[in-house]
Structure 1
Amino acid sequence: MLHPGLIELSQDQQKAELKIVPNSHGPITEKDLLQLLALPDFTCLFPLQAQITQAVIKVNQAASQDDGHIELFFEIADRRDAAISFDVSDDKMQLSMTLTAAYGGKTLDIRDILQNLKLQRISMGLSKAKIDSLIQEFVALGPGQSCSCIIANGRAAINGIAAKLERKVSLARERLLQPQSNSDGTVDMRNLGAMIMVKPGSLLIEKIPATQGTDGYNVYGEKLIAKPGKDHKLTPGTGTEINNLNPNQLIATVAGQPVETSSGMLVDDVLQIKNVDVGYGNVDFKGSILITGDVGEGMVVKSTGDITVMGFVDSATLQAQGDITVSKGVIGRQLKDFSLSTKLIAQGQISAQFVQYSRLEAQGNILVTKQLLHSHTQTKQQLIVSDATGRRGDLVGGRAQANKGIKAVAVGATADTKTELYCAMELNEFKEQLKQLDQSIKSMVVAVLNIEAQLRKLPPKIEWQNDAMMVEQVTVMIDEKRRIASIRAQEELDFERLKAEIENYYRNYYIDAVKHVFSNVELHVGKAFLRTQREHGPCQIRNHNQEINFDYSH
């Protein structure tokens, strides 16, 4: 080791100075100099690596040379103050602080940290507990060591919750899933209870208003504006009114059957018929229809409300602007032109226990609690072939199309019956809607900018405020700007919702086989297609990268 006397502190005590005669002490290595810096007086100083390397080179070059007797001087270490640095995330929602211990220089305390935070304009989301913990860790560090921690977090804006309409009365279709219990505890599937009726003053729907949401902030204290929840208008229908004492309640004004609408409910007069057959004739009624018996072959029943059949529908046509509920079975047969003899078309939902060789079209869900056989079904919502327990529900043969997913206990049959399933087929339509919304929003931005440009070109207000025509023109421009801004705000909300719908489309909409998928089942999920060659157990069938994927984890 080199003699300790070769190194000493500078006069101001800030640097380590090396004074060395090459011929007397050389050649040397960097290790020799680092050993000198490890001496008690110098161990806390910061090694100047470039100068250390340069000192070794110059000393070794001069050793054994004529000028090697001349003393050389080098500054190979100095004191350095503790350092503080910050790292802000790209979204300005997190702040990380790093503290680096001093090399014999000035240390840091809470006042230094607060002053630096002020210089960085950090004002929100700071955690005193995390800062204190980091300072405690910092105090125990050796020279040049660092510690870091996230000490500030912004608060994301919490968007408002959309308004919701909570129905307070049951509907006819729900009776299929609520059969009556016998005294011995068994369930009587034939007895579905009394017909759903309401009286004047009955509470039908209660609206839970949309919330405005909670604004957030980033670590700089900049406000993040929350988007309000989408409103859902509560609209009275025939036989209903808004409660005078509570504007969020819809009540019945007449006795009758409640029928759900997209924005509320109406109460229909109910036409009650025993059987619809050739003796009674076809039915076309403004209101809801209750058929306590059956609908016979070739008959047509039309309703502006719900149609409820307590018995069977056999080779007939039912059309409802509300729901169609068949308590027992829907029976049809295949005709010579390969069409089906029974048709059920509803603006609402279709519910039945048993369906065969029938065509079902609904805007709402289609629910079959036992078997759906060799039929053609089409719905904009879900197709569910299952009882309330999830034990029974066979979807066999035919073609089933449901925009928002299909759920069945068993799909296909052991006899390899050809069965076609289609779901999640609307993605391209949603993308086109998103594109149109984007174009509409951009056009409104341009329209507002044009109005603002016109307003800026106006002469000072004092020059035209007494000109009635000019005042009218300015008022029209301002009102138009407000109108466009209001529409734009709503379309921006719609844009974000539709964008989220597209991003999660195949995660939300899929085929759910509760127990079995048999062979010879054609699976279409979006553009992905597969015909099964074997039996599959319980699974969810999804579109993954435009290929059919069987997920057995559920």
Structure 2
Amino acid sequence: MTANEAGLSGLQLHFDAATGQLLASVVADHDAAPLDEPGLRERIAAAGWGALRYLPNMALGLLANHNAGIACTLPIAEAVDAVLRIDLSPDSVEAWLDIAAAEGGQPASVEAVLALLADNGIGEGVDHAAIAAAVAAGSASHVVVARGVPPVDGCDGRLESLIPEVRDRRPQVDASGYIDYRELGDIFVVHAGDWLMLRHPPTDGTPGRTLLGETIPAVPGKAAMFAASLPGTAFDPGNPDLLVAAITGQPVVVAGGMLVEPVFRVDQVSTVTGNVSFDGSVVVKGDVGSGMTVRASGDIEVGGVVDMGTLEAGGSIVVKGGAMGSLGRKTSEECHIRCEGSFHAAYAQQAKIEAGDSIFIDDSALQCELTAINHIRIGGKRRGHIVGGHLQATLSITGKVVGSSNRIATYCAIGVNPLLHKQLLQMCKLRDERETQLLEVAKLLDFAHKNPGRLRPEMIAKARATAAQLSAQIAEMREEQEQLTRKIELSRQSRLVARELLCEGVEVHLGNHRYKVVGEHGACAVGVGADGLELMALDEREA
């Protein structure tokens, strides 16, 4: 018997090199022991042909003839060479290698892969290390074995503030949802001709190159545009990209540039001066008297106290003294304090205060109604007492002492701002639309790749530019969604924080959850636990 033959109880195995098949011959023998499929596979392996591809249908016919004592010769296995395949990415910047492993046949080789790449017109950007690793593994799926040069898109133009002291009304929230609430200080003033902002032009980017030698145009950066209306400013006659002050006033960063708001200064607001309503920022050196109103489209700064007065600001409000309102008083005066930014004061008593950002009070808040989108924080270098009243904030309410030993009812509401959910839903819908558009463009590029010459080059270039632009927009939307999701998640983790003492009489609400404080507790927080709102320890940042 030769090395290619094996006689096995009425069976003879012979490998036919010409056809690459393993032939099994049955010798008619009614007395031969029955043979089943596991036994046949075992004998094939024992004969040294276990690596071949087994042919189950042919093997079943062979077994039937063998067990019936009928002579026959059938192929039951075959040698299969490794199969190589090269695919290009839709933008032709990457070549992907697939290797179907050999089964007893010729294995894949580095030379065969290189030859296949050459047949596909790919000679540059070849990753020899990746090819060697794939060949050594014997099989591969979607392995990148060649790379072209992707385009480097241009950088967008930008607007650079030339005034480091300028106030920025845009929300400045860090990754943890906390806000920088540094003392705002005095209003910074610029004068006519002062430089405010410089516009930097976009860059064109660097074109790329496909594996087939085609140029991939880069997407140029977007030009930064100044807003159509920036009151109190002008462009420098010698440089249209330089924004300068046209009047004396307060510089404020806004979307699309910077504006200069006139600053109205007055010693005090009383019946002598009358109410103040100003399109700009207002600085009151002294007090705002009872029943008086100050309205400003910018910021309001009061050097003294506000005694049952009304303040309304499109920016932030700073009261360097205290704010006293009319809640619970026997008076016909109705007053409130409302701002789109943050509110800062030394103390507040029986005051109704609403802030579009956060409320910061250095000493105490007594029987107040405080509402803030982000945080309420009572207590800087002073006592930090929250006694009575209603407080509502999305992310946190913090005080050194919350409530009082007299069990004065203090209502605190924390939790999600419903506007955040609405913004997230709108963003998800818009992103879905962009992703659908990108899918359609990708289909067009795939058609162009599979059907060379069917589409005009300029159409393909435009489609690639559109795909790059859509991808950039989707990435930007994804980042905004992540920020909104992070903020919503933070709001679900919102807490009432007592840094020194939490007293009985305090009631905390978060959605449908409610927690009534019983007894007095040292430094602690109230937040969502396994069973709803519960007492918990402070973290390092809150302590």
Structure 2 length normalisation: TM-score?
Answer: 0.64
User: Which amino acid in the other structure matches residue 514 of structure 2?
Assistant: R
Q: Deviations over 1:479-504 (max 9, x none)?
A: xxxxxx9xxx9xx9899588777766
Residue 375 of structure 1: SS of its match in structure 2?
strand
Which residue matches 2:82? 82
- The question of whether the paired residues in 2 share the 8 Å contact of 1:239 and 1:252 is answered with yes
Residue 59 (structure 1) aligned with residue 54 (structure 2): no
Whole-Å separation in 1 of the counterparts to 2:527 and 2:392: 15
1:66-105, aligned counterparts within 5 Å?
A: 71-84=71-84, 97-105=97-105
Residue 6 (structure 1) aligned with residue 6 (structure 2): no
Q: Pick one of 282, 294, 297 that aligns with 1:301.
A: 294
RMSD of aligned residue pairs (Cα, Å)? 5.6
Residue 23 of structure 1: SS of its match in structure 2?
coil
Residue 34 (structure 1) aligned with residue 34 (structure 2): no
- Structure 1: tracts of 5 or more residues without a match: 63-69, 139-145, 175-190, 442-484
Residue 46 (structure 1) aligned with residue 28 (structure 2): no
Distance 1:297 1:119, change over 3 A: farther
Residue 523 (structure 1) aligned with residue 516 (structure 2): no
Q: Tell me the CA shift for residue 59 of structure 1.
A: 1.4
- The question of whether the paired residues in 2 share the 8 Å contact of 1:240 and 1:254 is answered with yes
- The question of whether the paired residues in 1 share the 8 Å contact of 2:340 and 2:356 is answered with yes
Q: Tell me the CA shift for residue 157 of structure 1.
A: 10
Whole-Å separation in 2 of the counterparts to 1:405 and 1:162: 35
Q: Deviations over 1:269-314 (max 9, x none)?
A: 44241x3344554444555432222223233333454321122212
1:86-125, aligned counterparts within 5 Å?
A: 97-110=97-110, 112-113=112-113
Which residue matches 1:413? 403
Residue 196 (structure 1) aligned with residue 179 (structure 2): no
Which residue matches 2:283? 290
- The question of whether the paired residues in 1 share the 8 Å contact of 2:32 and 2:67 is answered with no
Q: Tell me the CA shift for residue 48 of structure 1.
A: 2.4
Residue 68 of structure 2: SS of its match in structure 1?
helix
- The question of whether the paired residues in 1 share the 8 Å contact of 2:11 and 2:26 is answered with no
User: Which amino acid in the other structure matches residue 242 of structure 1?
Assistant: F
Whole-Å separation in 2 of the counterparts to 1:134 and 1:495: 36
Whole-Å separation in 2 of the counterparts to 1:24 and 1:92: 65
Identity %: 22
Which residue matches 1:187? none
Which residue matches 1:452? none
Which residue matches 1:170? 165
Residue 506 (structure 1) aligned with residue 488 (structure 2): yes
Q: Deviations over 1:398-433 (max 9, x none)?
A: 44455x744635695364622234641225654796
Q: Tell me the CA shift for residue 317 of structure 1.
A: 1.6
Whole-Å separation in 1 of the counterparts to 2:331 and 2:82: 86
Q: Tell me the CA shift for residue 266 of structure 1.
A: 0.9
Q: Pick one of 12, 17, 21 that aligns with 2:23.
A: 17
Which residue matches 2:265? 271
Residue 294 of structure 1: SS of its match in structure 2?
coil
Whole-Å separation in 2 of the counterparts to 1:395 and 1:162: 47
User: Which amino acid in the other structure matches residue 165 of structure 2?
Assistant: S
Whole-Å separation in 2 of the counterparts to 1:160 and 1:549: 49
Q: Tell me the CA shift for residue 198 of structure 1.
A: 2.7
Q: Tell me the CA shift for residue 331 of structure 1.
A: 1.9
Residue 276 of structure 1: SS of its match in structure 2?
coil
Residue 136 of structure 2: SS of its match in structure 1?
helix
Distance 1:85 1:210, change over 3 A: same
Whole-Å separation in 2 of the counterparts to 1:113 and 1:12: 25
Residue 64 of structure 2: SS of its match in structure 1?
helix
- The question of whether the paired residues in 1 share the 8 Å contact of 2:168 and 2:252 is answered with no
Distance 1:229 1:238, change over 3 A: closer
Q: Deviations over 1:488-534 (max 9, x none)?
A: x9xx989958877776662365564484495744434xxx3322245
Which residue matches 2:180? none
Q: Tell me the CA shift for residue 82 of structure 1.
A: 1.3
Whole-Å separation in 1 of the counterparts to 2:234 and 2:524: 47
- The question of whether the paired residues in 1 share the 8 Å contact of 2:305 and 2:321 is answered with yes
Matched pairs, number: 467
- The question of whether the paired residues in 1 share the 8 Å contact of 2:233 and 2:244 is answered with yes
Distance 1:342 1:74, change over 3 A: same
Whole-Å separation in 1 of the counterparts to 2:126 and 2:534: 46
- The question of whether the paired residues in 2 share the 8 Å contact of 1:161 and 1:212 is answered with no
- Structure 2: tracts of 5 or more residues without a match: 1-6, 170-182, 435-465
Q: Tell me the CA shift for residue 8 of structure 1.
A: 2.0
Whole-Å separation in 2 of the counterparts to 1:170 and 1:35: 84
- The question of whether the paired residues in 2 share the 8 Å contact of 1:344 and 1:360 is answered with yes
1:142-541, aligned counterparts within 5 Å?
A: 146-148=139-141, 150-151=143-144, 166=161, 168-170=163-165, 196-206=188-198, 233-234=226-227, 237-244=230-237, 246-259=239-252, 261=254, 263-273=257-267, 275-278=268-271, 280-285=273-278, 287-335=280-328, 342-363=335-356, 365-378=358-371, 382-385=374-377, 397-401=388-392, 405-406=395-396, 408=398, 412-413=402-403, 415=407, 417-421=410-414, 423-427=416-420, 429-430=422-423, 506-507=488-489, 509=491, 512-513=494-495, 515-516=497-498, 520-524=506-510, 528-534=511-517
Q: Deviations over 1:324-358 (max 9, x none)?
A: 22123212242458998542233554332322322
User: Which amino acid in the other structure matches residue 130 of structure 2?
Assistant: K
Q: Tell me the CA shift for residue 6 of structure 1.
A: 2.3
Structure 1 length normalisation: TM-score?
Answer: 0.63
Whole-Å separation in 1 of the counterparts to 2:43 and 2:429: 74
Whole-Å separation in 2 of the counterparts to 1:386 and 1:123: 69
User: Which amino acid in the other structure matches residue 336 of structure 2?
Assistant: K
